[in-house]
């Protein structure tokens, strides 16, 4: 079984553009992919409706799905939010720049393209020098949905972006993403703070700063308005198994003639006929490698990916969420 992460094997190669070149493309109304600490984003100038529309078209994303606005300083919040509640200031002070998105009531005039026609807007300051430098060079906020086709696995390297869009989208190379799963989303637009999407910043860390419990949907309910359960999904069906039952399931499937891929820690003894990706046990390392591993196994031509269910502790909720969604298409 193979350790660690290798980049995908898309034909062709990324020809990265510099921050200055990318800013030029954006300011002329174009679209570029840029690195953040979580995943690569598909950037366009947030004020430019035509450019934002291009992002939706490139992703194949339905217009009802709102996008996150990326800014470089907390002062920019006021350009998008009708008001910035005390709780937002506190979370921003503690977690920005970082993998946290705040949903606030939108200011009048913020494009319905960005908000998906809702009366709220999502904003974050990414913790990546290239992202910040790109926003600052443009002097503009950028929309940044993950740089993948709608419903597919988010990209965490420039090669992943290339696998999605080939050379139709210029990419700024910021190396592999250090967090690896998308930001935690907290909705502060209502009377009570709500968790909309778990991430690497877990609900308890947010609750500590807010001094109150987060309202949040049950773990298996959709979290984000317009979100689909089968999201973040590889093309190959993926099934989640507890470590102690996974090898037996693999053997059952092998006996039926299936080609089986396994995504698991060293808690699982992998049958030699299976293609495997060995996950580390440590949470941050799993998050960092998860999407690259899914892409790699997805390309292997296997009939099924059997993935070890992550631990049940709160700090794993972001990873559980992504794997649960990745498994939503499988029978
Ligand atoms: O880490 C991230 O957040 C990455 C990087 C590139 O910043 N971006 C990202 O964007 O994951 P995207 O578009 O793939 O996912 C954004 C999520 C969507 O599920 C969307 O529905 C939700 O944020 N969202 C955006 N605006 C919202 C709003 N006003 N209210 C509720 N949810 C919102
Ligand atoms: Mg996405």
Distance 250 CA to ligand 1 centre (A): 35
* Count of helix runs (H) and strand runs (E) in the chain: 10, 13
Measure the CA dihedral 264/265/271/274, to 10°: 40
Q: Measured from the CB, is residue 326 less than 6 Å from ligand 1? A: no
Distance between CA atoms of 129 and 253, rounded to whole angstroms?
46
The rounded distance, in Å, linking the Cα atoms of 179 and 298 is 21
Cα 155 to Cα 5, 285, 308: the distances in Å are 13, 16, 21
Give how far the C-alpha of residue 195 lies from the chain's centroid of Cα atoms, to the nearest Å. 15
pLDDT value of position 223: 47
Which ligand 1 atom is the nearest neighbour of the CA of 120? Answer: 29
* Ligand 1 near 227 CB (within 6 A): yes
Q: Check residue 3 and give its pLDDT.
A: 40
Q: Is the minimum distance from the CB of 181 to ligand 1 under 6 angstroms?
A: no
* Chain position carrying tokens 């999904």: 233
Widest distance between CA atoms in the chain? 61
Ligand 1 within 6 A of CB of 183? yes
Kindly state if the Cβ of 225 falls inside 6 Å of ligand 1: yes
CATH class (in words) of the domain with range 19-210: alpha beta
The one-character DSSP state at 297 is: H
Could you say which ligand is closest to the alpha carbon of residue 228? 1
Residue closest to 147 by CA, chosen among 318, 32, 272: 32
Q: Give pTM, 2 decimals.
A: 0.93
Nearest atom in ligand 1 to the alpha carbon of residue 115 is 29
Q: How far is the CA of 170 from the centre of ligand 2 (A)?
A: 18
Give the pLDDT confidence of 235-285 residue by residue, as tens digits: 999 999 999 999 999 999 999 999 999 999 999 999 999 999 999 999 999
C-beta of 186 in contact with ligand 1 (< 6 A): no
Q: Are 5 and 17 contacting, i.e. CB atoms less than 8 angstroms apart?
A: no
Identify residues whose C-beta is under 5 A from ligand 2, the ion: 146
pLDDT in tens, 101-131: 999 999 999 999 999 999 999 999 999 999 9
Tokens of 49: 């409706």
CB-CB neighbours of 141 under 10 Å? 20
Helices 317-326 and 283-298, packing angle to 10 deg: 10
281-319 pLDDT per residue, tens: 999 999 999 999 999 999 999 999 999 999 999 999 999
CATH number given to 238-330? 3.40.50.11030
The answer to whether the bond into 97 is cis (omega within 30° of 0) is: yes
Partners of 185 in the β-ladder = 101, 197
pLDDT at residue 225 tops 50: no
Find how far residue 19's CA is from the centre of its chain: 22
Q: How is residue 197 written in tokens?
A: 């999407």
Q: Domain map of the chain by residue range?
A: 19-210, 238-330
Residue 39 Cβ contacting ligand 1 at under 6 Å: yes
**What angle (nearest 5°) sits at the alpha carbon of residue 74, between those of residues 73 and 79?**
100
Q: How many CB atoms lie within 10 A of CB 86?
A: 9
Cα angle at 262 between 256 and 268, to 5 degrees?
A: 105
């Amino acid at each position: 079984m193979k350790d660690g992460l290798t980049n995908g094997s898309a034909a062709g190669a990324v020809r990265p553009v510099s921050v200055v070149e990318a800013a030029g493309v954006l300011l002329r109304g174009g679209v570029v992919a840029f690195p953040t600490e979580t995943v690569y984003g598909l950037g366009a100038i947030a004020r430019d409706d035509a450019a934002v529309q291009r992002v939706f078209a490139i992703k194949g994303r339905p217009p009802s799905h709102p996008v996150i606005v990326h800014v470089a300083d907390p002062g920019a919040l006021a350009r998008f939010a009708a008001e910035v509640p005390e709780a937002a200031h506190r979370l921003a002070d503690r977690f920005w720049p970082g993998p946290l998105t705040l949903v606030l009531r939108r200011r009048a005039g913020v494009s319905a393209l960005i908000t998906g026609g809702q009366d709220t807007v999502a904003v974050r300051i990414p913790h990546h020098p290239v992202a910040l430098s790109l926003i600052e060079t443009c002097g503009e906020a950028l929309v940044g949905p993950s740089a993948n086709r709608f419903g597919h696995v988010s990209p965490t390297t420039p090669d992943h972006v290339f696998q999605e869009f080939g050379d139709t989208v210029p990419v700024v190379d910021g190396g592999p993403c250090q967090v690896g799963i998308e930001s935690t989303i907290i909705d502060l637009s209502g009377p009570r703070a709500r968790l909309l999407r778990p991430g690497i910043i877990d609900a308890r860390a947010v609750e500590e700063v807010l001094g109150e419990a987060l309202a949040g949907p049950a773990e298996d309910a959709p979290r984000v308005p317009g979100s689909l359960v089968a999201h973040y999904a590889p093309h190959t069906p993926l099934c989640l198994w507890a470590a102690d039952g996974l090898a037996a399931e693999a053997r059952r499937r092998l006996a039926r003639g299936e080609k089986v891929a396994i995504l698991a820690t060293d808690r699982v003894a992998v049958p030699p006929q299976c293609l495997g990706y060995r996950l580390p046990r440590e949470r941050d390392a799993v998050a960092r490698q998860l999407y690259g591993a899914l892409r790699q196994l997805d390309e292997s031509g296997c009939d099924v990916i059997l993935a070890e269910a992550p631990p049940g502790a709160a700090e794993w909720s972001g990873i559980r969420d992504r794997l649960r969604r990745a498994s939503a298409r499988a029978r």
